[in-house]
A and B are shown apart, each in its own frame.
Chain A
């Protein structure tokens, strides 16, 4: 079955010509949004607090969105189980904490474990069906969703667990605006993880191999890149970023429960689609935008109400896919007949 894909080659050719008007519009829009937020923050402490909360939550959505994009770029699969995988690794961190590890020891160990699980999943379950129909792959990731959910309920039960807050309950006070240590911590950790992964891609031979395997698998194989392994590592890194997202999302939930990543997965989908499914930078920017928009809307528009957040985001996803399916940073689609 034919897939509608972004053809990087065609995109390169298209870019070769004059300045892309679409890109300029996007940059201007983002600049406008940034200025709007800045002015709002300066004028109202509530607005500032909402914005900071939105940026913190948005960084989590962006991290999960980045995981989705990584997987999609490498294997052209949308991993519907990415959120549940992130939830599973958060439970592992919880469990390690019960066994005596300090929060950050558990954090590090969990990231490593997540990486391993991600690669194993790609090798055992995704690779055999990767080249079959889109439906087959979707169903496999859906099966993973359910399986992981079931395993978590089996091992830890479905009741609510409590994890020790990693950044404590304190806050900074700047100009009348209260900034929770938690929010600063969330953004810092996500930023650090994203920078590390980016550095891996940009500066190491492994990263180069991975980029080649995603871009031109046939050519990469010819120069000796083990394409299959690269794809598996891609899944591993995605699982790692998902683990970061889960761990940083948990403190603001107060409780750890098997369903806590489900709404966040929808927000991450929106972020990935907003940014463009093949754009890592887009995923992060998309995440921040979604986070801030949601917090501001819930804070200021009582009609939308806290309960309508997920339906609202669904509407956003639908709108983006109908109006500009390639997202803010994506390129035009080319369909191969």
Chain B
């Protein structure tokens, strides 16, 4: 009896292994995935929930823009754009599974606009291997531009990543400007930095050091935090920076941590450093939450490249944005009006990205392929995107792998109910 059983078990294992070795189940496709006669299907991963969920209005705005183009122009060359967005909770552990779903199950044409540096790094290997465009990413990491033609082993790219492209001005460039600003406005500064402990935060920190040049040692306290940290942990980091005697406080943090940092700063009496907030967290709505929790906003410095619904309300681009958001918000007409009126910059950002995508798609040929889309994206010369500041361009070429390289400085005025005021003109933030 035992002998028979052993034989059967062996057979069972053998069957398994043989079958698997002989099997192959990759689905094959004719034609370009995601492109049909009347539709183009794209996809992206965004933090609808979790610690970065304050960004969830970005994909809403992008979908609103595509709906507007679909309705007003019938899409691009009579193909309506469908955008499938999935929630990865800003968790790079979740993103690969969702991206697999988008590519292998939903057969999207391209990954467009996905948010997050870490999520992007977690999936760029897979997407580049399969030649799927991973473009207009909502993250300013320098890797997206630096690793197009060369390898970046430090970021896990043992081969170049030509299918990946960013959009917004990159973090090191922005931080370099902050470094130069500090040198120009504060002699012998004592700088405290709060930065996220991943590639996004480190990108910023290195840019700041670059901008400070030989004065790097003015950074007396650099505290890293993790995006999953609860509020009290971040408060502890801010407390540490205050206790170090810093008179400049630089915040390289995603919204909820940045808001917590600003609020905590307000609670520490007797500490009034020059405060600089990275532009990924300077949305007016975020600032107001911080103020409600005790932050002193006046004099806080930041930068921008997309228009503000409130501070730039009279500009043509904002008026157009207001109309589109009102009419085409995914949740229904008018569902995002209150957000827009309160100054949610995410909405204008999303429209700006959508504008660029449609612009590129128009230049991708009558029957776009993934390769033709990339070619169009790598040869852009966009001067009239209505949603970015006048004078700014979105430009790419073989040598210029960073689409946007301009910023404008902002300073907050008017207390809790106030707003950002631009300082000076458009400045170059590139390499």
A pairs with B: yes
A-side residues, CB < 8 A to B, are 46, 57, 153, 157-160, 162, 164-165, 169, 171, 173, 178, 180, 252-255, 257, 259-260, 263, 298-299, 302, 306-307, 309
Q: Which of B249-296 contact A (CB under 8 A)?
A: 256, 259-260, 263, 266-269, 289, 292-294
Query: Would you give the shortest CB distance from B62 to chain A, in whole angstroms?
Result: 18
Decide: A252 near B49, CB < 8 A? Known: A171-B267, A178-B269, A299-B239.
Answer: no
Output the nearest chain B residue to A46 by Cβ-Cβ distance. B243
Bound complex: CA A160 to CA B54 (Å): 7
Segment of B129-137, B177-185, B227-235, B378-386 engaged in the interface with chain A: B227-235
Q: What mask results when residues 330 to 369 of chain B are scored 1 for a CB within 8 Å of chain A, else 0? A: 0000000000000000000000000000000000000000
- Contact check, B269 vs A160: say whether CB atoms are below 8 A apart: no
Contact A254 B259, CB 8 Å, known A160-B51, A298-B236: yes
Contact B269 A257 (CB under 8 A): no
Interface pairs (19), CB distance under 8 Å? A158-B48, A160-B51, A165-B293, A169-B266, A169-B267, A171-B269, A252-B232, A253-B232, A254-B256, A254-B259, A254-B260, A254-B263, A254-B289, A254-B293, A302-B240, A306-B225, A306-B229, A306-B233, A307-B229
Q: Is B117 an interface residue (CB 8 A)?
A: no
A-B contacts counted at CB < 8 A amount to 78
CB atoms of A157 and B49 under 8 A apart: yes
A158 near B89: Cβ-Cβ < 8 Å:
yes
CA of A306 to CA of B225 in the docked complex: distance in angstroms? 8
In the assembled complex, the Cα of A257 lies from the Cα of B292 at a distance in Å of 17
Partner of A158, one of B50, B235, B292, B293: B50
Of listed B54, B56, B243, B294, residue having the most chain A CB within 10 A: B294
Q: Known: A254-B263, A306-B233. Contact between A159 and B54, CB under 8 A?
A: yes
- Interfacial chain A residues near B240, Cβ < 8 Å: 299, 302
B39-56 CB mask vs A (1 if < 8 Å, else 0) is: 000000000111101101
Q: Which of B48, B233, B234, B294 contacts A169 (CB 8 A)?
A: B294
Q: CA A180 – CA B264 in complex, angstroms?
A: 11
Q: Do most interface residues of chain B lie in helix, strand or loop, or is the interface mixed?
A: helix
**Which residues on A sit within 8 Å (CB–CB) of B230?**
253, 259-260, 263
Residue of A nearest to B262 (CB): A254
Rounded to whole Å, the gap between the CB of A291 and the closest CB of chain B is 11
Are B235 and A252 closer than 8 Å at their CB atoms?
A: yes
B293 in contact with A160 (CB, 8 Å): no
Not counting A159-B48, A162-B289, A254-B256, a sample of 20 additional A-B residue pairs whose C-beta atoms are within 8 angstroms of each other reads A46-B243, A158-B49, A159-B53, A160-B53, A162-B292, A169-B266, A171-B267, A173-B269, A178-B268, A253-B231, A254-B259, A254-B293, A255-B256, A255-B260, A299-B236, A299-B239, A306-B225, A306-B229, A306-B234, A307-B233
The contact of A306 among B236, B256, B293, by CB within 8 Å, is B236
A160 — which chain B residues lie within 8 A by C-beta?
51, 53-54, 256
CA distance A259 to B260 in the complex (A): 16
Indicate if B226 sits at the interface (CB-CB under 8 A). Answer: yes
**Min CB gap B287→A, angstroms:** 12
In this complex, the member of B237, B256, B263 whose beta carbon has the largest number of chain A beta carbons within 10 angstroms is B256
Q: Decide: A309 and B49 in contact? CB cutoff 8 A.
A: no
With a cutoff of 8 Å between Cβ atoms, the chain A residues found around residue B243 in the complex are 46
> What is the chain B residue whose CB lies nearest that of A251?
B293
CB-defined contacts of A253 to chain B, threshold 8 Å? 230-232
